[in-house]
Amino acid sequence: MDVPVRLASGHHLKLLAIEAKVSNTAINSRKRLMEVTNKRAVWDGAATLYAYRTAAVIAGDFSIQRLKEAQNAGVIIFWEHRLIDLTNFLKVG
């Protein structure tokens, strides 16, 4: 993972494993998102159910279909140009 984030006590997660991915073409986005999806199964299963989650911070050209597939597989998606969404997610609610 590119950035392991340990969440503050009181957050519903203990750890968020973040991968950064850039794609220059929609075709290349499949490879980039599959890398994250394959790692997600290992990382998310490393602790109590739902205590660890995997996210991807992405930039570039991504196929909508591939984004849906990654989200359906459990990857949380954040866009690089909207990092405020990631910041808000990390805040204790």
What integer best gives the mean pLDDT of the chain?
90
Taking alpha carbons only, the member of 38, 85, 30 closest to residue 57 is 85
Tokens of 35: 């890398």
Integer Cα distance of 33 and 45 in angstroms: 18
Q: 3-class DSSP state for residue 73?
A: coil
Average pLDDT over every residue of 51-68 = 94
Query: Which amino acid would we find at residue 89?
Result: F
What residue spans define the domains of the chain? 3-90
Whether the CB-CB separation of 10 and 16 falls below 8 Å is answered with no
Q: What is the mean pLDDT of residues 46-62?
A: 87
- 41 vs 48: CA distance, rounded Å: 13
Give the pLDDT of residue 62. Answer: 95
Q: Could you say which architecture CATH assigns to the domain 3-90?
A: 3-Layer(aba) Sandwich (3.40)
